[in-house]
Copies of this chain bind each other. A is one copy, B any other.
């Protein structure tokens, strides 16, 4: 993960793209890539979506979009000085308190 952060940063700096990489712009780029990812799933049934990686074409598009989303999320976190994995772990602990296992089991209510 640290290696990825460093490589994404080097990629941007080599191209002198830091000027474009404000948090605002990177959040937009992230949203744009998530839009492309969601488009891959929009007409699929839940079952088809679960089998998407078995289709070589769709699977490779999904993989590429996931890669793009991760790149922009990594870059955004780096620019903000946020440790992505640590922040996700902290948030997961918060969620564990908000959704105690006994009450939350099997329910999608108000997540």
Interface residues of A (CB under 8 A from B): 1, 3-4, 7-8, 11, 14-17, 19-20, 22-25, 27-46, 49-50, 52-53, 62-64, 66-71, 73-74, 76-77, 79-82, 84-85, 87-92, 94-96, 99, 101, 104-106, 108, 111
Assess the B36–A32 pair: CB atoms within 8 A. Answer: yes
A73–B1 CA distance with the chains assembled, in angstroms: 14
With A and B bound together, what is the CA distance between A62 and B106 in angstroms?
23
Q: Is the interface of A mostly helix, strand, loop or mixed?
A: helix
Copies in the complex: 4
Q: Bound state CA distance, A66 and B23, in angstroms? A: 12
> Does A49 lie within 8 Å of B32, measured CB to CB?
no
Q: Which residue of B lies closest to A22 (CB)?
A: B46
The 7 A-B residue pairs with the shortest CB-CB distance in the complex, in nearest-first order? A35-B35, A67-B91, A32-B39, A24-B49, A43-B108, A28-B42, A70-B88
Contact assessment for B42 and A23 in the assembled complex, using a CB-CB cutoff below 8 Å: no
